[in-house]
Amino acid sequence: MQGIPLSASIDRMIARALDYKKNPWRDVQAGARKRIGLIFLNPSLRTRLSTQVAAQQLGMEAIVFNIGSEGWSWELEDGAVMNGTSVEHIRDAVPVLSSYFDVLAIRTFPGLSDREADYAETVLQQFIAYASVPVISLESATLHPLQSLADLITIQELELKRPKIVLCWAPHIKPLPQCVANSFAQWVGAWDRADFVIAQPPGMELSETFTTGAQLVYDKAAALRDADVVYVKNWSAYRSYGAMGTDQDGWMLQPEDMEKTNRAKIMHCLPVRRNIELSDALLDSSSSIVTRQAANRVWAAQAVLSNIIQSL
Amino acid sequence: MQGIPLSASIDRMIARALDYKKNPWRDVQAGARKRIGLIFLNPSLRTRLSTQVAAQQLGMEAIVFNIGSEGWSWELEDGAVMNGTSVEHIRDAVPVLSSYFDVLAIRTFPGLSDREADYAETVLQQFIAYASVPVISLESATLHPLQSLADLITIQELELKRPKIVLCWAPHIKPLPQCVANSFAQWVGAWDRADFVIAQPPGMELSETFTTGAQLVYDKAAALRDADVVYVKNWSAYRSYGAMGTDQDGWMLQPEDMEKTNRAKIMHCLPVRRNIELSDALLDSSSSIVTRQAANRVWAAQAVLSNIIQSL
Amino acid sequence: MQGIPLSASIDRMIARALDYKKNPWRDVQAGARKRIGLIFLNPSLRTRLSTQVAAQQLGMEAIVFNIGSEGWSWELEDGAVMNGTSVEHIRDAVPVLSSYFDVLAIRTFPGLSDREADYAETVLQQFIAYASVPVISLESATLHPLQSLADLITIQELELKRPKIVLCWAPHIKPLPQCVANSFAQWVGAWDRADFVIAQPPGMELSETFTTGAQLVYDKAAALRDADVVYVKNWSAYRSYGAMGTDQDGWMLQPEDMEKTNRAKIMHCLPVRRNIELSDALLDSSSSIVTRQAANRVWAAQAVLSNIIQSL
């Protein structure tokens, strides 16, 4: 997200979000006569709806636009001779969108084939470059900041003193982006209120850009010992870019794994593939706080959005 | 629809709806700062729009979400190992939706191959089970209550003293659900203000669960005699589940059929396949009240929705 | 657009639009408790969003409905035996929509194979015929009036005294409708505040119905001499209906072409295929006013919409 430094302001953002959670409508005048355009190049449930809800609670109009299904697919390459299937260049579309909205928000996924292009955040950066209004990321190729803010809000609500947080890689049936894991590592690191361990099979290490301060562990059991929070998430390889990881065996979190923890709470950003990433037994247990985590997306979005409209 | 008993309260609901029809905005404060999520697993025109209109007139925010096209398809089976195309389990999605909305509404269609599963209302019942807010059916596998309420409103407006109502099976080119017919039979039966006849070819009888008090007739001409209202509708077989009915000849209502009636009004829930289910001549005649019937969907939705938000 | 005469009222409409541009919210009470239904049979970005924005600024509720993807495809032929893929007849759907909305708006594209059918505006005319509320065209088979009003607003803002305007045909990779060009020619002609030249390759002449008063030129260089405004646009043939034009060479506007002009501004309705219709060099130059032109869609829509709701 643009304009939100990932350091000292995190506690302030969490506090602001939790304040909205207590009184959702306290700033319902703040967004009057303001509009946010939610532009989706990829599907979304929680992100889209929580942002719409946050906007409503700030008195803003939120308009959803699904590029591709409702509009035309975008050309992203500079200098392209547009004789293919893309009907409009992002550099033409975004200035127009900027004229219609006070704030823009965009979701885009990585291709997972060209690491440099994905990590250059080509789409998001172009979007920002061509926009003349503030831009919120609703998940980009490599980061998902609104998710991470909601994650920290959820951890803050546990009222733990310097918890041990384990980000624990999980199996999946297809290659997923690294963005949720990258962002979580980045925010937990910047927050600096927890001991942070990332557990993954060899080869599945995240980019070091985001994991500063984290302890990388290849032994799931060791990682989980005395954990207060276990954040379960699949991601594909950063090094052998987009690879799924051949050795997934034993990485689906099991009830017996939890015995080593400090009665840890289980988090996941959803959607979750049951009995692939996480078993029914754990998802349906009282250890799981995934629903509250997703519910907190509203307050994260509202804190960020209110921050932005204050500055308009 | 949950929480609306199908008996003495029907007259009250009709009166409430007709009251809104006279003064659409009388309760525009009632839904302030409330939100309804309209979740569609299947397409909709009248149901979606009339519910949005009703919500606006109650001062509520309505947010439409098309599962599948805008989000991810849902897994419905308990205990599923989610290694296929479904990305999210309904038991994870619905609690989250409940946290975003004060009321949820869902549309889902039957598969028409497994009668037990369809009539168990698996999707709707799961949705209700996992929701922590009131749930409105926008048509489910076997019932369409908002349609039936609109149907009775439309009949009430005719100001007939104990009318003879004929639900008359019509041909179609593909197997349709029984839900509109089931619901109509159920509501007319519970309402108990009419003589009620169901005319269908042999084999096309509805489930007896819904047809208590109705007279089943296999001779269309006999059924129509002295009818005040003819509700034309196709449905597939309940017994030989999902079958279309081999003997469709003569079942498309004709202008000459109407001569036996008491200048009956013609109803249909729409969409209607012209010249298959109903001829142009009848649809475009003054006997047809299908447009008014569809318009009344607004008042049905508003009556139900206002009832629900009163209880929040 | 219905009810808007294309003559003396154009200056008034432009003034009204520019007035809204200065004070977007001055009539925010005008549309209170009013609803517009935006019905799309085809994709849209600018038209859809600018109309939603205009509606919001008038205090109106705008509801978008994508026929086909969200609802069911429409049958358009009178008397059709509906045994195919179309599930609902336009003559049944539109009266229902009229009951839900105070104003309706529809977008539809031509088939480009049957000129007579396209130029009879079958879909739009049926829509209007079956509607009982005012109908706004969001682009139809042969015209795009809201675009043309925005175009004239944009030209008016240049504050030129009787400018020379050149509508200049451009290459494309597939056959496009003539509607933007038709409408622009029609409005510029009716406006009568400019010298108007249309430049196209032989065979690409527009229907004479719309080009009265325009000078038709086949030599691009000659046409551009001393031009103040160059409106670049591709269209397919009217005469050899739907043909793309075999001789596209040399018709993509080049920076050197602009040297002959009176430092002309470049317009295009967007989306534009870069380096096919218009080069990057020109689109990214200060001569291009395409973004402002698209931004002005809001004020055009707001002027028209406010005019209509005044009359309700």
- What pLDDT is attached to residue C13? 96
- What pLDDT is attached to residue C7? 64
Q: Which helix (H) or strand (E) holds B40?
A: strand B35-40
Asked whether the predicted pLDDT for residue C276 surpasses 90, the reply is: yes
Beta bridge partners of A266: A230, A288
Interchain CB distance below 8 Å, B298 and C93: no
Q: Under a CB-based contact definition with an 8 Å cutoff, are residues A59 and A128 in contact?
A: no
Beta bridge partners of C215: C197
- Distance from the Cα of B33 to chain A's closest Cα (Å) equals 8
The answer to whether residue C3 sits within a structural domain is: no
Q: Under a CB-based contact definition with an 8 Å cutoff, are residues B9 and B17 in contact?
A: no
Distance CA C169, CA C204 (A): 8
DSSP character at residue A172 = -
| Residue partners of B86: CB distance under 8 A and separation at least 6 | B72, B73, B74, B75, B76, B80
Interchain CB distance below 8 Å, A275 and B81: yes
Question: Residue B129 has which token pair?
Answer: 């089970």
Which tens digits make up the pLDDT trace of C47-97? Answer: 999 999 999 999 999 999 998 777 778 999 999 999 999 999 999 999 999
Max Cα-Cα span within chain B? 59
Contacts of C109 in chain A (CB under 8 A): none
Looking at the structure, tell me whether residues C80 and C173 fall in a common domain. no
Q: Under a CB-based contact definition with an 8 Å cutoff, are residues C176 and C143 in contact?
A: no
Interchain CB distance below 8 Å, A291 and B83: no
Question: Residue A271 has which token pair?
Answer: 């959607």
Distance CA A136, CA A139 (A): 9
B102 confidence band (pLDDT: 50, 70, 90)? very high
State what percent of residues in chain B have pLDDT above 90. 91
- Which of C248, C291, C299 is most worth mutating to test chain A (most A CB atoms within 10 A of its CB)? C291
DSSP structure string for C248-309 = -TT-SB-HHHHTTSSS-EEE--S---BTTTB-HHHHTSTTB-HHHHHHTHHHHHHHHHHHHH
DSSP structure string for A118-144 = HHTTHHHHHHHHH-SS-EEESS-SS--
Nearest Cα residue to B163 out of B115, B196, B116, B122: B196
Looking at the structure, tell me whether residues C223 and C281 fall in a common domain. yes
Q: Which helix (H) or strand (E) holds B266?
A: strand B265-267
> pLDDT: is B121 or B70 the higher one?
B121
Asked whether the predicted pLDDT for residue A39 surpasses 60, the reply is: yes
B249 confidence band (pLDDT: 50, 70, 90)? confident
Looking at the structure, tell me whether residues B196 and B276 fall in a common domain. yes
Question: Residue B276 has which token pair?
Answer: 């298959």
Q: Is C41 exposed, middle or buried (0-12, 13-18, 19+ CB in 10 A)?
A: buried
Asked whether the predicted pLDDT for residue B272 surpasses 80, the reply is: yes
For chain C, what is the mean pLDDT? Answer: 95
- Distance from the Cα of A284 to chain B's closest Cα (Å) equals 9
C291 confidence band (pLDDT: 50, 70, 90)? very high
Asked whether the predicted pLDDT for residue A95 surpasses 50, the reply is: yes
Which tens digits make up the pLDDT trace of B197-216? Answer: 999 999 999 999 999 999 99
The dihedrals phi and psi of A187, each to the nearest 5 degrees, come to -75, -40
Looking at the structure, tell me whether residues B57 and B128 fall in a common domain. yes
Interchain CB distance below 8 Å, C100 and B50: yes
User: Count of domains in chain B?
Assistant: 2
For residue C45, give the nearest of A33, A93, A95 by CB distance: A93
- What pLDDT is attached to residue B6? 58
Asked whether the predicted pLDDT for residue B311 surpasses 70, the reply is: yes
> pLDDT: is B297 or B245 the higher one?
B297
The answer to whether residue C268 sits within a structural domain is: yes
Looking at the structure, tell me whether residues C125 and C182 fall in a common domain. no
Question: Residue A220 has which token pair?
Answer: 């799931």
Asked whether the predicted pLDDT for residue A198 surpasses 60, the reply is: yes
Looking at the structure, tell me whether residues C116 and C95 fall in a common domain. yes
Q: What is the mean pLDDT of residues C268-292?
A: 97
Q: How far is CA A80 from the centre of its chain?
A: 31
The answer to whether residue A148 sits within a structural domain is: no
Q: Which residue has the tokens 């009620």?
A: B196
Q: What is the mean pLDDT of residues C209-225?
A: 96
Classify residue C264 as left (phi > 0), alpha (psi -120 to 50) or beta: beta
- What pLDDT is attached to residue A7? 64
Q: Is C31 exposed, middle or buried (0-12, 13-18, 19+ CB in 10 A)?
A: buried
For chain A, what is the mean pLDDT? Answer: 95
Looking at the structure, tell me whether residues C172 and C266 fall in a common domain. yes
- What pLDDT is attached to residue A4? 54
Interchain CB distance below 8 Å, C96 and B66: no
Looking at the structure, tell me whether residues B133 and B168 fall in a common domain. no
Asked whether the predicted pLDDT for residue A68 surpasses 90, the reply is: no
- What pLDDT is attached to residue C6? 58
- Distance from the Cα of B22 to chain A's closest Cα (Å) equals 29
Question: Residue A185 has which token pair?
Answer: 């590592």
How many Cβ atoms are within 10 Å of C211's Cβ, its own excluded? Answer: 20
Which tens digits make up the pLDDT trace of A240-250? Answer: 999 998 778 89
pTM: 0.96
Asked whether the predicted pLDDT for residue C243 surpasses 90, the reply is: yes
Asked whether the predicted pLDDT for residue B67 surpasses 70, the reply is: yes
Distance CA B153, CA C293 (A): 49
B72 confidence band (pLDDT: 50, 70, 90)? confident
Asked whether the predicted pLDDT for residue C24 surpasses 70, the reply is: yes
Search chain A and give the residue with CA nearest B131.
A291
Beta bridge partners of B136: B105
In this complex, how many residue pairs, one in chain A and one in chain C, have their CB atoms less than 8 Å apart?
76
Looking at the structure, tell me whether residues B130 and B227 fall in a common domain. no
Distance CA B51, CA C112 (A): 37
| Contact residues, chain B to chain C, C-beta under 8 Å | 25, 28, 40, 43-46, 48-50, 52-53, 56, 66, 69, 173, 270-276, 280, 283-284, 290-292, 294-295, 298
Question: Residue B62 has which token pair?
Answer: 């309505």
Asked whether the predicted pLDDT for residue C5 surpasses 70, the reply is: no
The answer to whether residue B153 sits within a structural domain is: no
The Cα-based distances of A272 to A258, B87, B104 in angstroms read 18, 7, 22
For residue C128, the enclosing domain spans 9-143+296-310
- What pLDDT is attached to residue A5? 57
Tell me which chains share at least 3 CB pairs under 8 Å with chain B.
Answer: A, C
* ipTM (interface pTM): 0.95
The answer to whether residue A181 sits within a structural domain is: yes
- Which of C46, C154, C269, C273 is most worth mutating to test chain A (most A CB atoms within 10 A of its CB)? C273
CATH code, domain with C240: 3.40.50.1370
- What pLDDT is attached to residue C68? 76
Which tens digits make up the pLDDT trace of A113-130? Answer: 999 999 999 999 999 999
Q: How far is CA B86 from the centre of its chain?
A: 28
The answer to whether residue B103 sits within a structural domain is: yes
- Distance from the Cα of C56 to chain B's closest Cα (Å) equals 14
Range with the lowest mean pLDDT among A160-174, A187-201, C72-86, C123-137? Answer: C72-86
How many Cβ atoms are within 10 Å of B217's Cβ, its own excluded? Answer: 17
A70 confidence band (pLDDT: 50, 70, 90)? confident
Sheet-wide strand order for A103-107: A61-66, A35-40, A103-107, A135-137
C247 confidence band (pLDDT: 50, 70, 90)? confident
- What pLDDT is attached to residue A1? 45
Search chain A and give the residue with CA nearest C281.
A79
Counting every residue written for chain A, the total comes to: 312
Looking at the structure, tell me whether residues A244 and A276 fall in a common domain. yes
3-class DSSP state for residue B91?
helix
Range with the lowest mean pLDDT among A90-94, B245-249, C263-267? Answer: B245-249
- What pLDDT is attached to residue C1? 46
Q: Under a CB-based contact definition with an 8 Å cutoff, are residues C126 and C91 in contact?
A: yes
Tell me which chains share at least 3 CB pairs under 8 Å with chain A.
Answer: B, C
- Which of B20, B29, B44, B49 is most worth mutating to test chain C (most C CB atoms within 10 A of its CB)? B49
Interchain CB distance below 8 Å, B79 and A298: no
Interchain CB distance below 8 Å, A65 and C45: yes
Interchain CB distance below 8 Å, B100 and A276: no
Q: Under a CB-based contact definition with an 8 Å cutoff, are residues C180 and C235 in contact?
A: yes
Interchain CB distance below 8 Å, B92 and A290: yes
Question: Residue A243 has which token pair?
Answer: 């690879």
Looking at the structure, tell me whether residues A113 and A237 fall in a common domain. no
Which tens digits make up the pLDDT trace of A1-37? Answer: 445 555 678 999 999 999 999 999 999 999 999 999 9
Question: Residue C17 has which token pair?
Answer: 């639009």
3-class DSSP state for residue B265?
strand
Q: Under a CB-based contact definition with an 8 Å cutoff, are residues B79 and B145 in contact?
A: no
Which tens digits make up the pLDDT trace of A253-281? Answer: 999 999 999 999 999 999 999 999 999 99
The dihedrals phi and psi of B183, each to the nearest 5 degrees, come to -65, -45
Interchain CB distance below 8 Å, B81 and A44: no
In this complex, how many residue pairs, one in chain A and one in chain B, have their CB atoms less than 8 Å apart?
75
A196 confidence band (pLDDT: 50, 70, 90)? very high
3-class DSSP state for residue A265?
strand
Looking at the structure, tell me whether residues B126 and B209 fall in a common domain. no
The answer to whether residue B3 sits within a structural domain is: no
B283 confidence band (pLDDT: 50, 70, 90)? very high
Nearest Cα residue to A194 out of A250, A155, A241, A242: A155
Beta bridge partners of A38: A64, A105
Search chain A and give the residue with CA nearest C49.
A100
Distance CA B304, CA C301 (A): 35
The Cα-based distances of B59 to A62, A205, B214 in angstroms read 16, 50, 40
Distance CA A171, CA C160 (A): 66
The answer to whether residue C29 sits within a structural domain is: yes
